[in-house]
Structure 1
Amino acid sequence: MKARTALHALAWLALAGQAGLPVLAQADDGGLKVARRLAPSSLAKELDLRPARPLPEAPPSTQPLELNEAVRQAVARHPSISDAIATLAQQAGGVDVARAGYYPQVRVGVGGGTSNAPAAQGGSTGTVASASVSQMLYDFGKVDGAVAQSQALVRRQQAGILKQIDAVAQQAAEAVVMAHRYQSLLQIAQDQVRAVEAVLETARLRANAGLSTKADPIQAESRVDSARANMLQVKSQLAQWRERLGTLLGPGVPPTVAALPDGLARTLSVEAPTDTSLLPDVLAAEAERRAASAQLEIARANRYPTLSVDASVNKAMGGINPATLERNGTYHTVMLNLTSVIYQGGALDAQVRAASAAEDAARMRIETARLNAVDQARNYREQVIGAQARLGVLADRRRSIVEARDLYREQYTLGTRSILDLLNAEQEIYQAAAEQEAVLHDLWASRVGYIGATGQARAFYGLDNTTVQGMELLP
């Protein structure tokens, strides 16, 4: 059957082509070819794309960059927050549109046409001016539901702004932590280079004096090259994170990052239970549930009639009024209207079912948001506890290795210890110091993640009771 239908279609297309009739497939093929051409330059010209608008920039500063200051600068200029705020204004306009259903609708117009009035009454055509007023009296909650739905969408967008601010704050905090991490590792790598260079100098002096073999300076020089290569790698990683800071904060990033605020970190309690009621994802899901509930009320109200009062007046302007058949006549009406949809093919019932399902889905999104937040908070809490426990052990290890290195240095000078022992001790000191810094910054990264997962970003970074891109943030 399908093959026969396809043959019939092909035969019709062939006949249409022979008769010179337009064939839709041919036109669509030409449009498809144009749509498949990708030319960014032509597209930008057609869209009249303008150069990027410069973002706000903080004044250049030579002071070390503080964590909270970096977060404030990032949220003050990030365009995604501006986008969310503009969308909020759009949603707020929807509330005014919905509320307009409470007020009367006034229409005016002018039209012309023919009339079947007798010629004795003068002229058969004329221009008629009309005006009408319609006021809804009772609609069983249709307008109330539309207003409630629009207000819920506004609340959802407000939660979206909070979520976007928290996201940008977390990005800035992570960039600061990582930049400080490689800044500290660079200092440790430079110390390692200087320490190994000092060992190389000692090895050369001993070799020149005949107190050791020529192999000692060669071994030390190899370690110096390795330390320098490691230092360059760390410097490259630091440059990458400083570029990331430049993207978030602007080009005027201070040359150094200040020490991470341990005093502020002590105010963060990871043992406290997570309050999920203030999380942006939970607030957004609750707003979606209320919007779905309002949509359900609208769907139910659509089953009932709407009562309205309508008044209209029209007047012929230099011709015959078709309603009164009088020259320059005036006609007016005042009516009470009761309108209702009797049958829509089951659409009303389907709307009710769809709105009810949307409300149930929104409830599940609330529970999902709560569950994800608690899971993330627990994960970051364990990372924080583990990193804090490791820091004490690593500090003790570093002290013991430094003591061993100092002892090996004296013994090598006296000729009772080989240069490999001293070089290995310097390497272990670097590894212990680097590992200690890595765990410290892993601790901070876990704190930043915990702050974001529990919705404490605005309070922790000092954004509460401030204005961000025109939006006042309150606790």
Structure 2
Amino acid sequence: MLLACCGLVASCALSPEVKRGPSPVPVRIAEALGQKDDQALPPLVADWRQFLRGERLQRLVERMLAHNRDRRVALATVRQAQAQWAGAQAGLWPVLSADPQAVRARTPADLSGYGVPVAYNTFQVPLSASWELDLWGRQRNLSEAAWQNFLASGDNQRALAISLVNQLAQALLLDAELTERIELSTQAVSSREQSARIARRRFEVGSAARLDMVQAQGLLAQARQDLQALQRSREQGRLNVALLVGEAVKDEDFLRPADLDTLDIRLPANLPSTLLLARPDVRAAESRLRAADANIAVARAARFPRISLTAAFGTASTQLSGLFSAGSSAWNLGAGASLPLFDAGRNQAGIDEARAAQDAALASYDKTVQAAFREVADALSAQRSLALQLQTQFDVLAALQERARLAAVRWQAGSAPYLEVLDAQRELYAAEQAKVTTRRSLQGSGVSLYAALGGALTPIPELNESPTP
């Protein structure tokens, strides 16, 4: 009883306390953005399907989560870590085994004691047990480290799934943007073809200079070049989407420009930074830190004796028929200890290595928290600035549309050169393309915010959690 109590005290003494420094980020994200914390925190999105509401997008996300090869690797890693934890747990329990034996032996005459060779049979059916007493918490901390590594692998898998959803949504938003820009470019090509024909006819009848015709043809060639570049970019992007999904994606499965309005998430900048601690990558970093803490206790336990108990019970006989007869039982009990006396500093080196790993894990944890904070702050800042920029671009677009109309009227009336019309059309075309790009960037910042918050704090993939040890 006294030995067990001493062991329990020693075990507690060898388990290090998890020490955390001050938070590496401000208490609230608003502090970093220079905003007042005067808004109420709205409820967060509970599920990715409530945020990514487009039917096409949801189908593609589900297919990606089912077929993406990186996610399959992550899920296999989780199962591997779970098996390693189960193996570590087994070290806390006795090992039972049955070792039946049948032996035929011959002893030479000079060793038999009878002056003649002796041949005999031995039959045994023993049951043996061995158990290492975990007086110093070595096995418990090995199990704890394996459990924390399993939790980290699960959170890494969740973080990967959120990252994949973010990548897919961004790629589909870009595809929708390129589709809309291709439509605008196609309209521009058609309009400039008509303008080029008009300029050619006016030149042929002598009512316009050759320069007007050449300028119209150059503007048409530029529009065609832009259209070809956009089509090439869209094809490359769709190949990337197929790689993310893990299988071929048909053209009708991609988003349409109208689907961009189905993506929207707006959260105020007064989010508490502690909210980020629920991100899967932050939780994984914390689990790795706890595993490093447990490994220090394992390294410390190596400096103390390892005590094992053994026992065996069974039957033995020289005849197979006498195995279970009266008097054939056999048993033994034993205890052993292994105490390191001299190891040339190996155990101390193991402790130093574990402490260095703990310092690295702590630094990695702080870095992960800082990166999470930066990602959320960047997404919130981008949402605010892009919303203002988009509104300004609508005003600019309206002004350029009126300018293009007036320039065409003046040119047709002969009071303005054709160069004025070309400049107005060129600037209007660029403004239309920029508006589409900015709108896609604004929607993409919402997706980035969703991912930066850890998938709205709700794990995307299903994970069969094992009971806590």
The two structures share one fold, judged by TM-score above 0.5: yes
TM-score range, shorter chain: 0.7 to 0.9
Deviation, 1:298, is: 2.6
Distance 2:195 2:390 in 1: 29
Residue 279 of structure 2 aligns to which amino acid in structure 1? Answer: L
Distance 1:222 1:367 in 2: 56
Q: 218-227 vs 444-453, which deviates more? A: 444-453
TM-score by length of 1: 0.74
Unaligned runs of 5+ residues in structure 2 are 1-53, 321-325
**Identical aligned residues as a percent:** 20
Partner of 1:200: 196
Deviation, 1:389, is: 1.9
Preserved contact between residue 139 and residue 304 of structure 1 (Cα < 8 Å): no
Deviation, 1:117, is: 4.2
Deviation, 1:413, is: 1.2
Distance 1:368 1:66 in 2: 36
Distance 1:442 1:132 in 2: 70
Deviation, 1:316, is: 4.5
Residue 288 of structure 1 aligns to which amino acid in structure 2? Answer: R
- Asked if 1:136 corresponds to 2:139, the answer is no
- Asked if 1:103 corresponds to 2:103, the answer is no
- 1:61-82 CA-to-partner distances (Å, cap 9, x unmatched) read xxx9733433332222101111
Unaligned runs of 5+ residues in structure 1 are 1-63, 320-327
- Asked if 1:236 corresponds to 2:237, the answer is no
Partner of 2:72: 82
Within 5 A, what are the aligned runs for 1:240-319?
240-249=236-245, 250-255=247-252, 256-258=254-256, 259-262=258-261, 264-269=263-268, 272-274=271-273, 275-302=275-302, 303-313=304-314, 315-318=316-319
Partner of 2:82: 92
Preserved contact between residue 220 and residue 423 of structure 1 (Cα < 8 Å): yes
- 1:359-395 CA-to-partner distances (Å, cap 9, x unmatched) read 3332222111101211232233333322222112111
Distance 1:154 1:113 in 2: 50
TM-score by length of 2: 0.75
Partner of 1:425: 424
Partner of 2:390: 391
Residue 121 to residue 132, structure 1, CA distance change in 2 (3 Å):
farther
Distance 1:454 1:174 in 2: 16
Residue 373 to residue 174, structure 1, CA distance change in 2 (3 Å):
same
SS at match of 2:251: coil
Q: How many residues align?
A: 396
Distance 2:367 2:390 in 1: 35
Q: 344-353 vs 286-295, which deviates more? A: 344-353
Partner of 1:340: 338
Residue 164 of structure 2 aligns to which amino acid in structure 1? Answer: V
- 1:20-69 CA-to-partner distances (Å, cap 9, x unmatched) read xxxxxxxxxxxxxxxxxxxxxxxxxxxxxxxxxxxxxxxxxxxx973343
Distance 1:192 1:153 in 2: 57
Match of 1:222 among 218, 223, 239: 218
Q: 145-154 vs 393-402, which deviates more? A: 145-154
Preserved contact between residue 155 and residue 284 of structure 1 (Cα < 8 Å): yes
Residue 59 of structure 2 aligns to which amino acid in structure 1? Answer: E
Deviation, 1:132, is: 4.1
Residue 81 of structure 1 aligns to which amino acid in structure 2? Answer: R
- 1:393-443 CA-to-partner distances (Å, cap 9, x unmatched) read 111111101101111111111111111111111111101111112222222
SS at match of 2:179: helix
Deviation, 1:126, is: 3.7
Residue 351 to residue 313, structure 1, CA distance change in 2 (3 Å):
farther
Deviation, 1:98, is: 2.3
Partner of 1:119: 114
Preserved contact between residue 120 and residue 318 of structure 2 (Cα < 8 Å): no
The answer to which structure, 1 or 2, has the higher relative contact order (CA under 8 A, 6+ apart) is 2
- 1:75-114 CA-to-partner distances (Å, cap 9, x unmatched) read 2210111111122222222232223231332141535555
Partner of 1:17: none
Residue 88 to residue 301, structure 1, CA distance change in 2 (3 Å):
same
Preserved contact between residue 175 and residue 237 of structure 2 (Cα < 8 Å): yes
Q: 355-364 vs 114-123, which deviates more? A: 114-123
SS at match of 2:99: strand
Residue 281 of structure 2 aligns to which amino acid in structure 1? Answer: D
- Asked if 1:147 corresponds to 2:143, the answer is yes
Give the RMSD, CA atoms, in angstroms.
3.1
Preserved contact between residue 200 and residue 220 of structure 1 (Cα < 8 Å): yes
Distance 2:272 2:440 in 1: 24
SS at match of 1:342: coil
